[in-house]
Amino acid sequence: MSAPAPTAPSAVRSAVPKGHGDLVLRFRDVAKAFPDGTVALEGVDLDVRRGDFVTVVGPSGCGKSTLLRIASGLSPATSGTSQVDAKRIGYVFQDATLLPWRSVKKNVELLAELHGLSKTATHQAALDAIELVGLRGHEKKLPRALSGGMKMRASLARSLTLDPDLFLFDEPFGALDEITRERLNDELIRLFASKGFGALFITHSVSEAVYMSTKVLVMSGRPGHIVDTFEVPFGPDRTPELRFTPEFAELAGKVSHALREGHS
Amino acid sequence: MTTTAHSPEETLVTATVDTPPTAPTADPVLTGAGTAPLVKRSGRGRKRVTDSLLPIAVFAALIGVWYAITYLVLDPGRRFLMPAPHTIITDALFDGPTMDKVLPALGRSIVVTFTGLAIAIVIGMVWAIAMSQSRPVERSLFPYAVALQCIPILALVPLIGFWFGYDFPSRVIVCVMISLFPIVSNTLFGIQSVDRGMHELFTLHNASRTTRLLKLELPAAMPAIFAGFRISAGLSVVGAIVGDLFFKQGDPGLGILLDNFRARLQGQELFLTIIVTAALGFAVFGLFGWLAKVAVGRWYDQSRDAG
């Protein structure tokens, strides 16, 4: 267990409206050690700009989620700098975390409510977001009446109401069946293309990582660090057929290889 | 033999197909689609009829035993100990002077029960919410909630009379003390059981403590809080009767009536009052079950509470 560099951790936030290509998240030499001595992350450098879809792929327990918790401010870094230049952050958890007593619309309105938006603005933002994720007609349903995929859509819509510059995704589709998952992948790509936010996406699926991203980071565990980086050459118009092209297979193969190398 | 052994499984499969598409992976606290409702659903028809007939059969058997005791065991001079069921109806329920005592007493006991319960709900919830918002407050005050539960209420009754007199206020105080703990503990438990992910969601968006309490903790705790109300409602009836037995000044409630009928060996009247008291207990318990259903039944499956 090597001690993290003794630089004081700093978390900087500024509130500047962002355009395409502007930096929204920067990690420099970020490390995280827990009080019990476990080092979860070490020496992580990372940049996310608007228009970047950065995916971190790695085995379970390698500290991927810790990365997001630091980026969101839920948990501070032990050392290094994490700088967020986003007015608002969207955070989509692995669980949809919908409040079971609120209808879909009321759930989608929650964050706008917490941020003190006016009633009409909240209402409009919720309607727009519900439309965007394809939940029109389900506004009055309670979460218990939704399928796993629909819950995830509602959760996504909830974050969309804030129109975030930076989106953090913590294995959001990990619990869904493959068909639902691939469909949601496509819809998220579409949303990303139209909104142009910066995204940091955590997954343990290589195929999902390559399919979604502009950049794939391969992480390895204990302590978690980035072992390899792949630029993804495919443009923004991706269709499910992409998964069956030789280029896709080749890149996925390389990522898988790096994952195995890093893991051994 | 083998085919009959397989049939329950087959019905179970059809029942699974019938169920609405609730996600099996969702938080088990929030969705109620467990195995119990499935089994219930598969057994519709004949099974449901026997299910409701069985308690009725037991009731009939008990009445039979009762008559046997009245007419076969007790000699006529001692039948006031267990008067025949129909004489309770003819000699007490349809007896004007008796009902003129029982009904006003029932009214007074209802007032005592609900006054005590209302005060217990207010004190209990404020107490629990204060404890949920601060660990030092919880550390300081929870032992006293437990103490309240541990001290036999009868030990305090003489003191209550000593301080507050032997009338209505003391009866209400007994109700409050006896029904406070379930409200405190259930409210606290409900608030402390809120899903961590939901708390993080509120943390991420800088929710204030009040917002968190009003939009997350209290709504999420409602099923537990209502379960507490229901237990306390039953206890509050007990408190009203017990309070009556000790604090006999002023107009009599059901407890005083019970004691008077006992002292005067009025078997029919005593049994009727017992039945009325029991009905009050059932009604109050049922009322709070219904209130819980109205308040949280839409999103919370209460069959989980039952078993």
Complex prediction ipTM: 0.87
For A68, which residue in chain B has the nearest alpha carbon? B204
Sheet with A79-84, side-by-side order of all strands:
A10-13, A79-84, A23-33, A39-49
Would you list the DSSP string of chain B? -HHHHHHHHHHHHHHHHHS----TTS-TTT----HHHHHHHHTTTHHHHHHHHHHHHHHHHHHHHHHHIIIIIS-GGGGGGS--HHHIIIIIIT-HHHHHHHHHHHHHHHHHHHHHHHHHHHHHHHHHHHHHH-HHHHHHHHHHHHHHHHS-HHHHHHHHHHHH-SSHHHHHHHHHHHHHHHHHHHHHHHHHTS-HHHHHHHHHTT--HHHHIIIIIHHHHHHHHHHHHHHHHHHHHHHHHHHHHH--SSS--HHHHHHHHHHTT-HHHHHHHHHHHHHHHHHHHHHHHHHHHHHHTTTS-THHHH-
- Report the SS3 class of residue A203: strand
Chain A interface, best mutation among B198, B205, B210, B222, by max A CB count within 10 A? B205
- A85 vs B193, higher pLDDT: B193
Nearest CB partner across the interface for A144, out of B31, B201, B216: B31
A233 at B interface, C-beta within 8 A: no
What is the pLDDT averaged over residues B180-196? 95
Residues of chain A with C-beta less than 8 angstroms from the C-beta of B225: none
* Domains present along chain B, CATH in parentheses: 2-25+32-76 (no CATH), 88-300 (1.10.3720.10)
Q: Where in chain A is the domain with CATH 3.40.50.300?
A: 17-87+165-263
- Report the SS3 class of residue A90: strand
**Average pLDDT, rounded, for chain B:** 83
Quick check: B177 pLDDT over 60? yes
Query: Which pLDDT does position A13 carry in this prediction?
Result: 55
In terms of phi and psi (left: phi > 0; alpha: psi -120 to 50; beta: otherwise), the region of B206 is: left
B86 at A interface, C-beta within 8 A: no
B214 at A interface, C-beta within 8 A: no
What pTM was estimated for this model as a whole?
0.80
Express each pLDDT in B77-92 by its tens digit.
Answer: 888 888 888 888 888 7
A209 at B interface, C-beta within 8 A: no
B302 at A interface, C-beta within 8 A: no
Neighbours of B249 (CB within 10 A): 13
Q: What is d(CA A62, CA A220) in angstroms, rounded to the nearest whole number?
A: 6
Express each pLDDT in A19-61 by its tens digit.
Answer: 777 888 999 988 898 888 888 888 899 999 999 999 999 888 7
What is the pLDDT averaged over residues A149-162? 93
Which CATH entry fits the domain spanning A17-87+165-263: 3.40.50.300, 3.40.640.10, 3.30.460.20, 3.40.47.10?
3.40.50.300
Query: Which pLDDT does position B12 carry in this prediction?
Result: 37
- Judged on CB neighbours under 10 Å (0-12, 13-18, 19+), A194 is exposed
Residues of chain A with C-beta less than 8 angstroms from the C-beta of B299: 100-101, 142-144
Residue A11: pLDDT band (50, 70, 90) is: low
For A146, which residue in chain B has the nearest alpha carbon? B22
Residues of chain B with C-beta less than 8 angstroms from the C-beta of A89: 204
Query: Which pLDDT does position B154 carry in this prediction?
Result: 83
Query: Which pLDDT does position A40 carry in this prediction?
Result: 87
Residue B33: pLDDT band (50, 70, 90) is: very low
- Report the SS3 class of residue A144: helix
Chain B interface, best mutation among A97, A98, A108, A161, by max B CB count within 10 A? A97
Residue B305: pLDDT band (50, 70, 90) is: low
| Interchain CB distance below 8 Å, B205 and A143 | no
Express each pLDDT in B222-253 by its tens digit.
Answer: 999 999 999 999 999 999 999 888 888 888 89
Residue A18: pLDDT band (50, 70, 90) is: low
For A145, which residue in chain B has the nearest alpha carbon? B22
Quick check: B192 pLDDT over 90? yes
